[in-house]
Every structure is written in structure tokens, then in C-alpha cells.
Structure 1
Amino acid sequence: MTSTNDVNQRQAIELWGGLEATVNRVRDQYFSQMDQNGHAGRLSDLDRFAALGIKALRYPVLWELIAPDGLDKADWSWPDERLPALRDLGVQPIVGLVHHGSGPRHTSLVDDNFAEGLAEYAGAVAQRYPWVEYYTPVNEPCTTARFCALYGLWYPHARDDLSFLRALMNQCKGVVLSMRAIRKVNPDAKLVQTDDLGKTYSTPELGEWADFYNERRWLAWDLLCGMVGPEHALWDYFIGSGISAEELQWFRDNSCPPDIVGVNYYITSERWLDHRGERYPKQYVGVHGFADIEAARALATPTPGVGPLLQEAWERYSLPLAVTEAHIDANREDQLRWLMEVWQAAQDVQRAGADMRAVTVWALLGSFDWNCLVTECRGYYESGAFDLRGPEPRPTAVVRLMRELASGRTPSHPVLQGQGWWRRPGRFLCPPVATSTSIAALPGERRGAQHTVQPILISGATGTLGSAFARICAERHLAVHVLNRQEMDIADPASVEAAIRRYKPWAIVNAGGYVRVHDAEKDSSRCLRENAHGPVVLAVACARHNIRLLSFSSDLVFDGSKGSAYVESDPVSPLNVYGQSKAEAERRVLGVNPDALMVRTSAFFGPWDRHNFVTLALQALGEGRSFSAAEDLVVSPTYVPDLVQACLDLMIDGESGIWHLSNGEAVSWAGLAQRACALAGIPDKRLQLLPSSALEFSAAQPRFSALGSERGRMLPALDDALERYLKAVAEEQQRGAMQPGAAQAAHYGSN
């Protein structure tokens, strides 16, 4: 880690990593991120982290986990194994002792003995690991105090200013006493003090609120630096809330300035306050009647990001800086864009003269349930550098970007050419606000300078998948060209070559093909041309030009004899011509281009075309007409928007080979209709449950072709997908925008 304080001889900004390790208490229940992300029992993660090129890792040795019943009963086996392993791997641990926690059950943030108890624990950690140099005794004291003692979300669930300030001061006192105890063992120990650093903007009517919030954000660092005296902007707030001058004087007499000011920055860090609460969704309007919303969702002029905030911190403290958390819950390309924007901002601040040490990629394993501020275990997962939705943590495109940044290489992923959602026109949740507040523009190179952007080419312009890819790529600001057969005939090598020369894509999505399963029995030559020969032509061209290829296969490559869900490695044995065409495509495409991504899926339904099974069933039954469905054919339904989103992420990550993507559940076609009716509130009395033999299909059908996966379950559960489908259909109907798609009803939604 960088050690010089000479701002004139600046070393390169380092890349650090962070492990989401929150152990917060909600009433009498503890929520541990490490239990959810599996790191508690997976030592192999440390090798993965070291391979990223990081110099340091924010790492938990948490009071609540190691010594929940007192130091005499502490269990050190976990850090005994892991901290030396990190050292041996050349990664400096930045040891955290409390991470959004409130300590073991016998204490809390408003307990007068909290600080002394934490310091005793900190001293024991230092005695056991005297070689550890960097510590964060308490992560985000100000933010944690707000959640625990002002908003009442976490234990002890207080909701008043005095409790907030008491919790804040107890944590900061704990930091001071902890560093004192640590430095008795290791005089060279250094404090990396983290907190969320944002900024609040407002209408003139709420200027005083904004000013207050903008002063409050500094309080933890101000206390540690001994800066809170009668001259401080919030002195009267402390005294008026019930904090004594003597308590504040203690921090002036016992200052403990951070060796590194750690700035945590999220899309939620910058806020907009608006007295016109009626303009905004209800969830953003608080008890005071005004709206408090992410600035990115309201301001017509985007804020410039973390750069000016880092500059403010440098000017306020003149202490070394690091971005100690940089993460966004977003699609993969926006995760990359967010990290790149933060990295460039840190470089700008360093060039302007600040002592900028590092940028930390946060939540290397992702995080759970932060969309409800970890007040419940809902299972909501947002991936990080690794994606945990598989048997082992899977490296994402963030890993590639981290290695490029760590080694000084120029980041090369084509999706970095687009703008993040926080800078795009579609980000608003209400009419955008033009503010007179001074908001500096981004440097020119990050404002979307004019340059050629490599697109994704999508074949199958008129089909369900092709139109869905076009729509979602536009939403995600991924450059795209959707081509019909006249523009690119995938079975014609010359046509494919011409399209590649013209558009210079970085990826091609084969979203077209022959979809009429039963007609294929009499039209096998055309089916094989479009479903087998065409994908091979694409695969050859993509291999030659080093272009990513995504193509689609089907559950119909299986004969149904397994009797349980098929996984990727199961042998294929198609029963019909359509399935044979897909099986041949898999074999030949991956034979000539092993880097291609081949996605098997089934039973499409979605909100943007009228000709899928779920839409047809609900329409007929909702109008009181009868509808027939097979009760003996079991499939895995797939919600098209979920499929497209996951495919784009996997493609951006550089995944290859066969993947099974569906919304997971094995259900008959009749059962799917019943499930959709139940969620839509439509009677299913006129639903006719028939054996498949009664439906007179031309092509033989596998009785059980449900798809499981040995690589990872990437799509949400079926009921969740159906609920979102119904909501999306209602929105489409309100806009009058539902358009016919490819006629796929002949096989009840199979691709």
C-alpha cells in the first residue's frame, strides 16, 4: 500500500477490494452477509481475490462473530486461518471490527460501555495479529447511527436526534479507544476511517435542510479529527439535542485523525430534496411532507459524481484519501461504467493535487437484500466481481476490468463506450428538475465524446427474441443493430461477412431461426438451413473476426426419458426435426467456435407479443372462451425479458458453452395456465386439461423437458416472473403499444 505523504511524488492509484460482511441486528435477529454469500466456509475465495491484482482487502474480523459471548469465549479459528493466508498471498488486510453492527447481544450503539468493550476486543485482535497494519474498527459510523438510531431500521431501533448522536459518538469513541489499544501493540497501525459521502441538493424552499444534511455527512470524521467545537456548524445541534460540551471536548482532547479518509460512494449517496412532494412516487415522501430522492432520478443535469466530493474531503481534512466502496446494483455494463467513472474521478482528483491512494471495488462476492436495507432475508442478490448463482463463484466482466486497472492496461470492454443509466434520459421517476444549483459538468472525455461505438448485431428483427433484444439493449444503452434476413442472411457466408464489415460489431446475437416446430416435420430442409447451417456460418465468421456469438437452442433436444430436469451435460436425443436442427447446431457451432455462448431455453412468454401461450390463455379465459392445454407435457417456462437480461450479462462476462436459462420451475402447460390465471385473478373454469395425444401435434413431444442447470440459476422464480409479466402487460395495454410478434403459439411458446 502507498505510504508516502508527498503529494508531489504520487504513486499510481492502487486497486483494493472489499467483502460485504455486514452483521446487523434487527430486533433479536442477526443478519450476516457472510452466511448468505458463503464466504464464511469458503477459504478458496482468498485465492480468487488475490488473482484480481488488488493490493489490499477490506476484511472482517467482526466482534459479533468472533466474541459474541465475551473475549474469554472467543473463537479465533476463522481469522487464524484467513488473515495469514491473505498475507501469504501478498494482499494487505484492512481489518474491520464492526460493520454496520451494534456489537454482541450484551451491548448496543447507545450503550455507554460500547466503546470500551470494542476497544478491549480491538486490543485482543492486535495481540493475536500484531503484524496487521490497517484497521477500520467501525465502518460508516454516521450512516450506521442514522439507520440504527434515527430511522429505527436496525437495533436498537431508536428514532430521535439524541439517540442518533449518542450512537455516532459511541462509535467514534470506540474508534479512538480501539486505535489506542491497537497501537499499544503495533505503534505503526493505521486507521482507515470509512463513511458514506454524498451531497444533498434541494429546491430553495428546503435549502436549510440541504445545508444541514451536507454538514451532517462529515460528523464522524470531524469528531475523530477533533474539529467539533463551538465554532462547528452543528455545535448547536449537538447541544440542543442533549449532548454536553464536555462530551464533545473529549474528542478534541483525544483526537484520532484517520491515516486514510475512506469515502464510500453509491448512486443513493447524492440526494434531491423537493418541497413539492406530490410530484414524486409516494415512497420518496417522508413524514415532513417533502420528497427525498436520489439526485440521479430527479435532476435534469446529472451531478458530476464522486470527484468533487473527494476534492471537498481533501480540502476539509488534507488527509490521504481512498474510495473504500464503489459499487452499483445494476446490469453488468453499468457496473463496469460505474467503476470506470469512479476510477477516472480518483485520477482527476489526484492530478489536481490530492493525496489519492486507492479505489476499492466493493462487494467482490455481491450482496444480499440491500434493496430492503437488510431488514429482512428476502434473497435479493446483486452480484459483484463474482456471481454466486452457481456451484462456485463465477468471475464476471468486473474481474476483467479490475485486472486491467490493477496492471495499468487500458480498459477494453466495448460496453464501456456507453453511458451509465444515471446519465441517460430515461433515468427519471418524475418530471426532471432544472436546478440553478451549481453543478459542474463532467470532463469532456466522460461526457459522451463523439466516437464510433461498436454495436451488437441481432439477427431476427421481426421475431419475439429479436424485438426483445432490441428493446432491452436500448434500455441498457448498448449500441445495437437489428437486422432482417435481407440485411444479413445468417446462412449465407457472403451476407454475414458484408454485415460484419459494415457494422464492425463486438458481438452477434442469433435471435432468429425457424420456430414452427410442427411444420418442421414437413419442411425439414428449411428448418435445418435456418437452425443448423445458419448458426454454423455465424460461428465460423465470429471465430475468424474474434466476435462474441450468442445463439439459442431448445429443451426439445431432449427426449424426456430422464424424468427430471435436464442439465447442460445431459446427452441430447431429440424426438423431432426441430430438436434435431437445434442439436446439430449445438454440436457444430461449439465445434468450430468453443467461445460461443449457446443458451437452451423453452416455453417463452412475455409482454410484448400476442402470440405466446400465457398471453393467449389469459386472453381466451378472460373473455370467457375455452382454452385447451396439455396436462402431460412438462416444461420450464421462460419470461423473455429475464432471458434477454441474463443473456446480455453472460455475453458481456465472456461466458461460453451451453447454458440452461429458464425461470426454473417444472410445470405442465396446463399448470402454467392455471398459475397465470390465479395470479391474474381470472377464473380457469373453461380451461380444458387434455392429454397431448388429444391435441394432434405433428411433431413428437418429450413428456418431461424441464431445464435445470449445473452452471447457475440466473433467472428469478416463475411466480415472480408471472407477476412482473402481468404488470408489464397492463402497462403496455395502457400505452396501446402491444404489437404482434412471431407466431409461436403452434408449440405453446417453445423457441
Structure 2
Amino acid sequence: MSRPAAPHAHGPAARQGGGFPLSRLELWAGPECTVNRVGEEYFDQLAASGFDRRIEDLDRLAGIGARRLRFPLLWERLAPQRGTVDWRWSDERIARLRELGVQPIAGLVHHGSGPRHTNLLDPAFPGLLAEYARALAARYPDIDAYTPVNEPLTTARFSGLYGLWYPHGRDDKSFVRALLNQVRATVLAMRAVREINPRAMLVQTEDLGCTDSTPGLRYQAEFENLRRWLSFDLLAGRVDAQHPLRGYLRNHGASEQELQEFVDAPCPPDIVGINSYVTSERFLDERVALYPPHLHGGNGRDAYVDLELARVHGRSIGGFRARLREASERYRLPVAITEVHLGCSRDEQLRWLHQAWSAAQELRDAGHDVRAVTVWAAFGTYDWDSLVTRRQGHYEPGLWDVSSGEPRPTALAALARQLAQGETPDNPVLDGPGWWQRELRLAYPPHGDLESLPVQGRPLLITGASGTLGRAFARFCDLRGLPYRLLSRADMDIADAASVSAALDRWQPWAVVNTAGFVRVDDAERDPRQWRDNLIGPAILAQECGQRGIRLVTFSSDLVFDGGKSAPYVESDAPAPLNAYGRAKLEAERLVLDHAPDSLVVRTAAFFGPWDPHNFVAQALEHLRRGDRWHAAQDQVVSPTYVPDLAQASLDLLVDGERGLWHLSNQGQVSWQRFAEMVAEAAGLDPALVQGLPTSALSLVARRPAYSVLASERALLMPPLEHALDRYFGDCQRFAGDWPLRAAA
């Protein structure tokens, strides 16, 4: 194998500690700052998240206890034209970081190909980046840590091997050249920086995964597991004549001279930065018939699939703990986790961060020099579901949710603060395993013996076992690994204080989600049971939960408004219900928040979902399938709400510790007539069968507002209605059989 890195004048020994205190594990942070190029278009995460416009975000990051920021001083943004650098943005922010006492790790290229006058295959790329690095160091000589190029191997794969990013190479030669150019650029950039600040440190990051395979593809897995180290090995001077991939590099365009230069003048990292994701662990399987065609690929020798190991392997191959240990033992250098982010529900995001921190602390306690854990994508990410190749606005929140413009702290921010301060995290969802550790992770029959962890922890109590919303919450608790009890009235009568008290004492929940209620709006005008279910029950729940410090989520309605507005109702608008149902819901809101101010009261609109054959969408489809006319109000404008979206957003808010009134409905507004027409069009039926009528012709007992569209001034959490309707048909097949589609056939 390769020899250890040679001694070097600017190595870790010369800068022991170097501003990175060893007394405890540090919290670092960073915004997702990719500026990648696809064709002639640049995708800028800093612009998408608004980080580039909010200097106060630096105070937010300092406030959670971050000691260092992976800070974007990106070449493409500050110096898009050669020879000209606009320092205004960076001057203001570097000055603020100094005031806050937070040290930056300057990032110069993050999945980019540089400004338009160069690219990753350009022989001039390394020297041009070094010019920029020298100018940056001269401007900010007190910056003591740099990541000149983030994840050079990963970027070379995406830009030179897979053709996803500019310059869109699809061959080994392009991959090798892109990799060597980035590593050479890192070396030259650090030399230039150290001419000004000799003690400047290299914090080199890389997405470090691991690959397993069936026996027949062991050779390919071994290659992948060697290749993953190449950026670090090149910097450390390890790619000598004995390195197993030196021949591969030579065969695909690397010259003997340039490879030897890395050996003769190494530039090893001062900190080896490990980024790892669930998708970083891969499994190769030549049994392609077991998998859908879109996964089929190969290497020119064998056909196989390359997929996320968690989806098919019976057990994990280590995660953060294994990757940190491997890196520490391979290089004998300080290590850090330099990105922790998971695009998933809030509970899973929390578990991912907590497990990363625990792994780092465990390795540190075992004697490995683990310096920090970095909470990454602090303000979320955009369009990583397409590997940032399409501008679709798909947003994943981070420590803050910026979907409505103003950053809203999520439970991740609270967890990060606790970890930074050495406190024991207290969010109850951390008691359970992540989805990557549970059996539901499997999309295919497991390879090898199955290892999975059981769901555990204090439960949620969900009322309304017979209702659509209650069953939806139960389904999503299963999906998210949240223990729960789905209660019928026999299990707990919410309007009976003794019954509620006994149930809370018996099951000891950390929260109650109340979906029980009287839902027939017209019958509510004359049926006294609606007051019991919609007013008395929520009030009693709030009293009992408030006395015990148990969180409560309960649901209200758009019918608390009278329709006098012509713009969507937000949380601060004054309610004025027109009917008994709305009056009961409004009074329940008041009593719940009086008795338990930490409660979450969600106003929503008429909903539809894949598990309920009685909702508006399902009933319309049933009539239209038969060729019958479907009558719908043409003069009521509403914001229909998709039950899966409502349940998921409500659970996220609960986990975040949000309280008070929230409006949750899918984005958009539509009359009932137009909504039915949209349903018909989506199902391939005749929208002309939908007949719009005035509300006065529909024989309704209770008055309805002409306009009851909901929007939120607190956050934009729900997808557009059109998107929800598209998913409805697929979800019906996925979750509950294909009865709506059969009806449309």
C-alpha cells in the first residue's frame, strides 16, 4: 500500500491546534453554498436560500454556538470576471464574523467549474484559482482556514464522469482531468495563501462513502473503495508508484510528471473533512432482473445496478462512525465531519444529526482526533432531488426554514445549540432509530441477514381512530418511526375529563394529536353533539395536557371566517364565523390556547386523501366515472387540503415545538366547480360533466363563506394544490389500492 505522507513545512505538526481547540468537540456550521453550472446556467444556492441577502444569518449561526463557519467566498460570485473582485459583500460579512468571534473556513469553489472564462478541464484552472486565493488572503490575512475546492472527487464524478454538471464529461479521461485540476488548484491555492499567512490551514472535504456488492462484482466494489480516497491520497503524496490506482490515472490521461509532483511536494490536509450521506453507501448487484430498468447500468464489462445500500442491504456498513475511523487511521491526521444534512421529515433530520454527533464523540473518546461536527445546509437546500440539474424550487429545510422568506428556526437549531453547549438533547423523537436503521428502509428483498432496530420511545396519542385524519397520522407515524396509540372514543372520550386523565396517565404520551370531531357542517346547525366534540372535547384535552406539560395539536377550520375578504386569510385576520360549526371551532381555539398556551392549533380547509372514499374528490370521480353529472358550487372559493401534506406538516411543526395558530392548506385557490374540473382532467374524464351551481341551489343548511382561502404569514409549508392532486392518484395506488383509478377507467 501507499507510504505515509512525507514531512512538509506547512503540515499539521507546524500548526498543532492551530485555532482548533482540543478541549471538546466543536460545532461548526455552514449554509449550502453550491454554485454549479449546467450548460450556460449557474445554480446558486446562496441566492435561492436568501443567505446572500441576510447578513443577520451570521448572528443566527453564532447564536447556536457555532465556533467556525464553512463560509462561502466563492470565486464565481466575487470574481466572475478575471482580474476584478467585488469585495463589498465579503467585506461586510467578514467584519461581522470578527465582531461575533466566529472564525470562517473560506470556501472558494463549491461544486463549481469556476467563472465562465475557465472550467474543470482547463489547464489554466489551477493557476487561476491560485490567483484568486492570493487576492483573498491579501484582503483577509486573518482568515486561518481554507477549503479551496469542496469535494473535488465528487465534483469530478458529477462533472467529468456522469455528465450532470459543466463541462458535462462522460468518460474516465474527463473525470481524471477534472480531479487532478481541482487537486492541483488546491495545492497552488494553499501555497498562494501561505505566502501571506504561513499558518493557514487546509480543511479538505470529500463525500466519503463505501461500496459493497455481490461476490461477482467484488472487483468493482474494491475499485470504488479505492477511488473514494483519491483526492486525499493525492494531496497527502500517497499516489506513488505503488498506489493501486496510479495505473488507472496514467491510463486515462495523467502524466507521470504531474503525479510525481504530488508525491514530491505533498499538501496534506490539516483537517480531513468527511461528508457522508445515506446515499453515500452503495450496493452493486449484477442480478439486474430484480430491479426496475431505470437502475440498470454497468462498467462495460458487467451489467449491474448501483443503488443506495440502505434500500437493499440487510445491514449497514458503518455510517459516520466507520468513515471517521477509516479516515483517522488511514492518514493519522485530525478529522471532522464537515457536512451533516438529511432531506427528510424533521424527526429523521434530528436523528441523523444526533447520530453523527454521537459517532464523532465516541471516536474522540476512543482516542481519535475528531475536531468538529458541521451542521450543514443551515438554511436548507434547493433542488438537490435532481442533483441541482433542474430549477424546480424543491426545498429541504435545515436548521432554519426559509420557505416563507424570514428564517424560522426548526428543531434542528435547538438540537445544534444543545450539542454545542454540551447539554443532553431532550427532543423525544431522538429515542427512536432513523429510517436507515428500520426495516421499512428496504425497497427490495434484503441482501444478507436483516438487521433492523425497533421503534421505541414515549408515544403520541392520536384521537379519532375512525376518521380520515386520525388514520393518516397513524400511517405517517409508522413511516417516521414515531411510537403512537390510535385511540377510539372507547379508549379515550375527549369530552370526559376522567377518561382523558386516565388515558394520559396510562400511556404517558409526550404529545396528543386530536383529530376527533363532528365534521358534518349542515348537521352541526341542529345537532348538539357537535358542541361536545368540537368545543368541550378540545377544551378538556387542553386542560389535562396543560397540567401535565404534554404538547397538544388540534384542528380548526377555514369556516371561522365570513368570506368578506378577497385575499387569502392569514393567522392574524379577525374571524367571524357564519355557522354553528365555525362558532364551535372558534371558541375551541380560544379555550385550548387559554388552557394550554403551548398547544398547536391548526386551521385547515376541506381535505381529501387516498384513504377516504367519501371525500369530495373521491365522490366526484365516482359520479364522473359513471358518466353522471357532478354538481359543485361555482361561487365558493376555497383552498382544498391534501391529507398527507397536512399530516406531515403538522408533525414537523409539533416536533419543532411550534405553538399557537397556524394555517395549513395547499397553496392555491379554486371554486368547488373548478376543483371538480381539475379532478376530471387529471383522471382523463370529461370536465364538461361538472356542472357549476350557485350555493343557493345546493340545498345547504349552514351558511358558507363565499371566500375562505387560507394562507400563512408564519411559513409556507404546504405544496401547491396542483402538485397535491397529481400525487393523489399515485398515492391511491401506493397506499390504498387503485379504486379511484378503476372508477375512472
- TM class by shorter chain equals over 0.9
Residue identity matched to 1:638: T
| Contact 1:391–1:711, Cα closer than 8 Å, also in 2 | no
| CA shift for structure 1 position 251 | 0.7
CA apart distance, 1:737: 12
Aligned residue number for residue 7 of structure 2:
none
The separation in 2 between residues aligned to 1:435 and 1:224, in whole angstroms, is: 39
Q: What residue is the counterpart of 1:746 in the other structure?
A: none
Letter in 2 for 1:300: G
Judged with a 3 Å threshold, the aligned counterparts in structure 2 of structure 1 residues 386 and 165 are, in CA distance, closer, same or farther, namely: same
Residues 279-321 of structure 1 deviation map (CA, whole Å, 9 limit, x = unaligned): 1233322254311001001101233312111111111100000
Structure 2 residue aligned with 1:135: 146
Task: Give the equivalent residue in structure 2 for 1:569.
Answer: 572
Corresponding position of 1:347: 361
- Range with bigger deviation, 507-516 or 344-353: 344-353
Q: Deviations 1:153-208 (Å, cap 9, x if unpaired)? A: 11111111111111111111111111111111111110000000010000011111
SS at match of 2:278: coil
Equivalence map 1:262-341=2 (5 Å): 262-288=273-299, 289-341=303-355
1:113 to 111, 124, 129: 124
In structure 1, distance between residues paired with 2:463 and 2:736? 27
The Cα offsets for residues 312-332 of structure 1, whole Å up to 9 and x where unpaired, read as 111110000000001111110
Cα distance in 1 for partners of 2:533, 2:651 equals 23
**Taking structure 1 as reference, are residues 328 and 699 closer, same or farther at Cα in structure 2, changes over 3 Å only?**
same
1:509 counterpart = 2:499: no
Alignment counterpart, residue 638 of structure 2, candidates 618, 635, 639: 635
**Following the alignment from structure 1 to structure 2, what is the Cα–Cα distance between the partners of residues 243 and 418?**
48
Unpaired segments ≥5 residues, structure 1:
442-446, 739-751
Greater mean alpha carbon deviation, residues 225-234 or residues 388-397: 388-397
Separation in 2 of the partners of 1:317 and 1:469?
48
Check if 1:194 corresponds to 2:205: yes
Cα offset, 1:448, TM superposition = 4.9
- Residue 40 in structure 1 maps to residue 52 in structure 2: yes
**How far apart in 1 are the matches of 2:663 and 2:293?**
39
8 A Cα contact 1:622 1:683, kept in partner: no
CA displacement, residues 444-497 of structure 1 (integer Å, 9 cap, x when unaligned) = xxx8589x7211011111011111111111111100001111211111111111
From 671, 690, 693, the counterpart of 2:674: 671
Corresponding residue for residue 749 of structure 1: none
Indicate the residue corresponding to 2:562 in structure 1: 559
SS in 1 for 2:297: coil
| Pairing 1:458-607 to 2, within 5 Å after superposition | 458-523=462-527, 525-607=528-610
Q: Residue 617 of structure 1: SS of its match in structure 2?
A: helix
**Which one of the candidate residues 133, 140, 157 is aligned to 1:146?**
157
Q: 2:461 aligns with which of 457, 463, 472?
A: 457
Residue 642 of structure 1 aligns with an amino acid whose one-letter code is: D
Residue of structure 1 equivalent to 2:103: 92
| CA deviation vs aligned residue, 1:221-249 (integer Å, no higher than 9, x gap) | 00000111110010110111121111101
Task: Decide whether the 8 Å contact of 1:636 with 1:664 is kept in 2.
Answer: yes
Query: Is this contact kept in 2: 1:176–1:254, CA < 8 A?
Result: no
Partner amino acid, structure 1, of 2:491: E
Q: Is residue 382 of structure 2 the alignment partner of residue 356 of structure 1?
A: no
Structure 1 residue 736: deviation in Å? 7.6
Find the aligned partners of 1:143 and 1:211 in 2 and give their Cα distance: 17
Aligned residue among 691, 703, 706 for 1:703:
706
What letter corresponds to residue 570 of structure 1 in structure 2? D
Structure 1 counterpart of 2:726: 723
Query: Is this contact kept in 2: 1:142–1:195, CA < 8 A?
Result: yes
Q: Is the 8 A contact 2:597 2:659 kept in 1?
A: yes
CA deviations over 1:90-149 (Å, ceiling 9, x no partner):
211111000000111000011111000000100101000011111100000000011111
Unaligned runs of 5+ in 2: 1-11
Query: 1 CA distance for matches of 2:298 and 2:675?
Result: 43
The residue that corresponds to 1:646 in the other structure is: 649
Aligned counterparts, 1:736-751, within 5 A = none
Task: Tell whether the 8 Å contact from 1:138 to 1:175 is kept in structure 2 after alignment.
Answer: yes
Identity between Structure 1 and Structure 2 (%): 53
Aligned-residue offset at 1:547 = 1.0
Q: CA RMSD in A?
A: 1.9
2:267 to 256, 277, 281: 256
* SS class of match (1:319): coil
Cα deviations by residue, 1:403-447 (Å, 9 ceiling, x for unpaired): 1111111111110111111111111222121179xxxx8xxxxx8
2:459 partner amino acid:
P
Q: Determine if contact 2:403/2:716 at 8 Å carries over to the other structure.
A: yes
Partner of 1:367: 381
Q: For residues 651 and 584 of structure 1, what CA distance do their matches in structure 2 show?
A: 22
Q: Residue deviations 1:343-364, cap 9 Å, x none?
A: 1111222222211101111100
> Residue type of the partner of 1:53?
G
Q: Aligned partners of 2:274, 2:133: CA distance in 1, in Å?
A: 23
Q: 1:5: Cα distance to partner?
A: 6.0
Cα displacement (A) at 1:734: 3.8
Q: Deviations over 1:706-732 (max 9, x none)?
A: 111111121111111011101112334
- Aligned to 1:724, what secondary structure does the other structure show? helix
Q: In terms of mean alpha carbon deviation, does 724-733 or 111-120 score higher?
A: 724-733
TM-score (norm 2): 0.95
Q: Quick check: 275-284 or 493-502, which moved more?
A: 275-284
- The aligned amino acid for 1:290 is Y
Give me the whole-angstrom Cα distance separating, in 1, the residues matched to 2:640 and 2:67. 45
- Following the alignment from structure 2 to structure 1, what is the Cα–Cα distance between the partners of residues 578 and 89? 53
- Residues 591, 734 of structure 1: CA spacing in aligned structure 2 closer, same or farther, 3 A cutoff? closer
Contact in 1 for aligned 2:611/2:736 (Cα 8 Å): no
Which of 35, 40, 43 aligns to 1:23? It is 35
| SS state at 1:707 partner | coil
Q: Could you say which residue in structure 2 is the equivalent of 1:748?
A: none
Residue 391 of structure 1 deviates from its aligned partner by 3.7
- Aligned match of 1:743: none
Moved more, 724-733 or 43-52: 724-733
Instruction: Kindly report which structure 2 residues correspond to 1:394-473, keeping only aligned pairs within 5 A, or say none.
Output: 394-434=408-448, 448=453, 453-473=457-477
- Does structure 2 retain, via aligned residues, the 8 Å contact 1:296–1:303? no
Query: Per-residue displacement from partner, 1:569-608 (whole Å, max 9, x unpaired)?
Result: 1000000000000110111211222211111111210000
Letter in 2 for 1:479: P
Is 2:734 the partner of 1:692?
Answer: no
- Cα distance in 2 between the residues matched to 1:186 and 1:733: 63
Name the aligned partner's letter for residue 591 of structure 1. D
- Alpha-carbon distance between aligned partners in 1 of 2:737 and 2:694, rounded to the nearest angstrom: 37
Distance 2:206 2:449 in 1: 27
Distance in 1 between residues matched to 2:161 and 2:453, nearest whole Å: 40
The 8 Å contact of residues 87 and 93 in structure 1, kept in 2 or not, is answered as: no
Cα displacement (A) at 1:10: 5.4
Matched to 1:601, the amino acid is: T
Moved more, 283-292 or 452-461: 283-292
CA distance in 1, matches of 2:405, 2:215: 53
SS in 1 for 2:280: coil
Q: Is the 8 Å Cα contact of residues 438 and 454 (structure 2) preserved in structure 1?
A: no
Change beyond 3 A, Cα 1:357–1:589: same
Aligned residues: 724
